[in-house]
Every structure is written in C-alpha cells, then in structure tokens.
Amino acid sequence: MSTVITNGTVVTASGTSRADIRIEGGKISAIGLGLATEADTIIDAAGRHLLPGGIDVHTHLSMPSMGTVTCDDFYTGHLAAVMGGTTSHIDFCLQPKGSSLKSALDTWHAKAEGKALIDYGFHLIITDLTEEVLEEIATLPSLGVTSIKLFMAYKGSLQINDTTLFRCLERARDAGIMTLVHAENGDAIELLVQEALERGQRAPIYHALTRPPQLEAEATGRAIALAEVLDAPLYVVHLTCEQALGRVREAQARGARVWGETCTHYLFFTKDDLERADFEGAKFVCSPPLREVQDQAALWAGLRDNSLSVVSTDHCPFTFDPQKMVGRDDFSLIPNGVPGIEDRMMAVHQAGVNGGHFDLERFVALTATNPARLFGLEGVKGSLAVGYDADIVVWDLQQAHTISNETNHGATDYTLYEGMNVTGKPVMALIRGEVVMDHGQLETAPGSGQFLHRAQV
C-alpha cells in the first residue's frame, strides 16, 4: 500500500520545493515530481505546504506539581497537540524522591498507555541522586531515554545542588545522554519570595519580581561552567532573557556543547501580563517568569542567529479555576506553568514567519528538525526525507484563524493567545503515514501514538 501526497510544496530546514511525497510502510519512500501516477491513495495538497510534523520537546502531561496535577493527560494533551500541528513530543518523567529511575519510567509509560494519539518520548527529571540512581543513569539509553533534567530552582522540592548537577553531567556525558537544566538560582529566589510575603506583597506580579533575570543568567552561567569543565552536552530549557542568552552565546563561541531553547509564551508576553485585572495575571505565572519587551527582541534575534535552537512550549497546564485560584491570596501558591501545546506552531508561524523574523525553513528547523536532531531522533523524525517517518503536516499559509479557548482542545479553561489572529494553519496531519487529523477532525484512536526509543547523543 502506498500513499502519495501530490501538488504540495515541501519545506525542510534547508530548502523549499514543489514535489510529491510517496509513503510506504509508514515511511517516506520517495520525494520528487510525478509520483502520483502509481499510488493506492492520493492526497491532493494543491496550494498547501508540507512541513515535518511539529516536535515539542518540553511538556508536562499528568505531572504532579505544587499539590496538584497538570490538567492535560496523554489524551487531551495529544488531542490539542495534533490539532495544532504537533505530531511528537518529549514529556518530563518525574522521579519521586526515593524512587528508582526505572520505576519512574514505568509510571510515565502507564500514564500514556491506551491514551496516546501522537508519538512520545520521555526525559527523566532526577530529584534524588542516590548512589543507585547514579549507577542507573547508564542504563537509560537501553530504555530509550537519552536525556535527563535537573532543576536548579524550586527549593525544598525539585531543586538539586551543584554536586548533584556535576555528577549527573559527568555520568550523562559518559552514557551519551543530554543533560537539561532549569536554570534559576533557587536559593536566592526562596529568600526573595519569603521577604516579599513578609512585606505583604501577594499579587501575581511578585512572582516575576522575586525571580529577576540576573538569577536566571547566574544559574545558566554556572551550569555552563560545570558542563564545560566536563565537556558534557548541556541544553538550557526555557531561556527567557537577554542576559542568560548572552551566557549561552559566549559558551557557543568557545566551542562548548551548549544549546538553548525558548518557549512560545516568552516571545509574546511580558511581566506586565501578570498585572491583568481580576487575578487573570495568574494565568501567566510560569518559571522562569515572563520578562520585558527587550528580552523578547533578544530571543527573536537568538532564534534567527541560531544561538537558540528550539521553540518548545513548556506545556504545563493548570485550569484558572480552580487550580490557579489556589494562589488568590499568595502568589507563591499559584501552580507554575502555562498551556501552549496547541498554540505553538500557529503562534510562532504568525509572529516568526508572517512577522518577518525568519523564513518557513527556519520555522521548520526550530519546531521540528533541531528538536529531533538534539534529542536522538535524527533520521526518524523532524524532516521530510527518504527513510524518515511520514510525519507530515499539511499547512495552509492562507487560512485565517482566531485562537480561542472555545475552539482549542486541551483541558485548560483558557489560552494565553485568546483572540490572536493568525494566517497559516495546519489542515491535515499524518503520523507514520496515517492521517490522524483532517480539517480539525481527529482521525485516529487513543493508543495509536507510539513510544519513541531515542538514540544516544
């Protein structure tokens, strides 16, 4: 059985051309002109662009956090993802204190079991580094997991110290594993938060004011220094500000194996959004916090000049009511995190490509090709080339859409992008050659998404 997508314009990170794509056995078997003459199924993509399915390497589905659990599971999160043109993601599997890494992974596999609509991998968040866990790191690649994550913030819960970071970086390097860091100085933040609360400063804006950009830049620089000493690969997640970006750029100029990611919301919102009336600012509470307009400009520049390699979502959804409401009288109790898995591709395409920051090829690089390359999926996902999985998004550059929670598919009761007009929308998505979304209709069943056994880095 073969499928040919005909009459479309194929976009990769390195070029754009009119070509047909033939799919056999779930993989791309040919790309070229005139392929539609011999196919069992033909999909006409006239006037459309064919992009590699979006890959979101930073999500938190069904994750316990701050006394609650993120409200999207592997069904609702995947439904939102696929409607927005994302066909794979890597979720953060959290090691509960005292647990082995294997048991944490078993828990995460169970969360996805029977629900998944898109393909998914796991990064492993290490919260409790015992000697056994240290030894276990080397076994992760055999379980398909080739990235670990450490938190330098969230004191008293997720935060690790520099000893743990250094030891993990070394073990990860030896095992062909990428280390990810949430880089903020959690010790200083904890003091600033307590002082603010003592002064009676309780509104959402104090979330941003107690996590200043210097503390992100400091932690970013510290993580880079530790990684450089060890020549270990390091990926800085959700980078938000000019100062932290400077640390990444300097390291890259020295030849260090350091990469940076930013997330959609840092490109669109500022800390002023935390002051929205009626506690709506709580919808924008995430860590690191939203910054200033000048940081947004720096991030766009970083995405253009490749000092930032990826735009992910940090999709960490909580409902406004009741979940965010818990912090009504104390910003430090507002669950940290924002939704975005459905919005990323359209919003970044709108502001990035239509807004003139970069072209469609760079958009593909940032949303699919680089995420795949950095996380052990090169040759399988993230590009349109012979031998790759046929994960294809049919993108209509002309289609207008207004983003709204009314039409979004996740379990949150809001989207940050409410009312945003975009031109350019995914109208169809295929995963491993199967149509999974067609003009907003889901065409696949829960359980069809597969676990991504990723290669070493």
The smaller minimum CB distance to ligand URP, of residues 71 and 430, is found at 71
Contact call for residue 247 and Zn ion (CB under 5 A): no
Q: Using CA atoms, how far apart are residues 309 and 337, in angstroms rounded to an integer?
A: 22
Q: Using CA atoms, how far apart are residues 375 and 378, in angstroms rounded to an integer?
A: 8
Q: Report the nearest approach of ligand URP to the CB of residue 287 (Å).
A: 4
Selected from 19, 83, 286, 393, the binder of ligand URP by CB under 6 A is 286
77 φ/ψ angles, rounded to the nearest 5 degrees: -65, -40
The smaller minimum CB distance to Zn ion, of residues 78 and 182, is found at 182
In what helix (H) or strand (E) does residue 234 lie, and over which residues does it extend?
Answer: strand 234-236
Q: Which long-range contacts (CB under 8 A, 24 or more apart) does 440-445 make?
A: 440/83, 442/79, 442/82, 442/83, 442/117, 444/117
Q: CB under 5 to 8 A by kind: which of Zn ion, ligand URP, none does 186 bind?
A: none
| Closest listed residue to residue 404, CA positions, set 414, 390, 389 | 414
Contact call for residue 391 and ligand URP (CB under 6 A): no
180 φ/ψ angles, rounded to the nearest 5 degrees: -105, 145
Q: How many residues bind Zn ion (CB under 5 A)?
A: 2
Among 139-147, 297-305, 309-317, 442-450, which window interacts with Zn ion (CB under 5 A)? Answer: 309-317
The smaller minimum CB distance to ligand URP, of residues 5 and 236, is found at 236
Q: CB under 5 to 8 A by kind: which of ligand URP, Zn ion, none does 286 bind?
A: ligand URP
Among 170-178, 306-314, 384-392, 443-451, which window interacts with Zn ion (CB under 5 A)? Answer: 306-314
Q: Report the nearest approach of Zn ion to the CB of residue 402 (Å).
A: 23
The smaller minimum CB distance to Zn ion, of residues 238 and 454, is found at 238
Which residue matches tokens 């930073």?
Answer: 58
**Taking CB under 6 A as the rule, which mask of x and - marks residues 216-255 in contact with ligand URP?**
----------------------------------------
Q: Report the nearest approach of ligand URP to the CB of residue 60 (Å).
A: 5
The smaller minimum CB distance to Zn ion, of residues 173 and 182, is found at 182
CA 57 vs. chain centroid, Å, equals 4
The smaller minimum CB distance to ligand URP, of residues 340 and 426, is found at 340
Contact call for residue 262 and ligand URP (CB under 6 A): no
Contact call for residue 336 and ligand URP (CB under 6 A): yes
The smaller minimum CB distance to ligand URP, of residues 12 and 159, is found at 159
Tokens representing 136?
């276990």
Q: DSSP 3-state assignment of 16? A: strand
* C-beta separation of 28 from 22 below 8 A: yes
* 303-322 residues near ligand URP, rule: CB under 6 A: 314, 316
Which residue has the closest beta carbon to ligand URP?
Answer: 336
The smaller minimum CB distance to ligand URP, of residues 64 and 322, is found at 64
Contact call for residue 273 and ligand URP (CB under 6 A): no
Q: CB under 5 to 8 A by kind: which of ligand URP, Zn ion, none does 357 bind?
A: none
322 preceded by cis ω (within 30°)? yes
| Closest listed residue to residue 338, CA positions, set 376, 394, 402, 282 | 282
Q: Report the nearest approach of ligand URP to the CB of residue 289 (Å).
A: 8
Buried b (16+ CB within 10 A) or exposed e, 275-308: eeeebebbbbbbbbbbbbeebbebbbebbeeebb
Selected from 314, 343, 389, 391, the binder of Zn ion by CB under 5 A is 314
* C-beta separation of 71 from 324 below 8 A: no
Contact call for residue 182 and ligand URP (CB under 6 A): yes
Q: Using CA atoms, how far apart are residues 283 and 414, in angstroms rounded to an integer?
A: 8
Contact call for residue 60 and ligand URP (CB under 6 A): yes
Q: Report the nearest approach of ligand URP to the CB of residue 440 (Å).
A: 28
Q: What is the signed CA dihedral for 137, 139, 143, 144, rounded to 10 degrees?
A: 60
Going by the DSSP 8-state scheme, the letter that residue 338 receives in this structure is B
Contact call for residue 337 and ligand URP (CB under 6 A): yes
* 178-207 residues near Zn ion, rule: CB under 5 A: 182
* C-beta separation of 289 from 207 below 8 A: yes
The smaller minimum CB distance to Zn ion, of residues 182 and 381, is found at 182
Q: Using CA atoms, how far apart are residues 250 and 114, in angstroms rounded to an integer?
A: 45
Footprint on this chain of ligand URP (rule: CB under 6 A): 60, 182, 286-287, 314, 316, 336-337
Footprint on this chain of Zn ion (rule: CB under 5 A): 182, 314
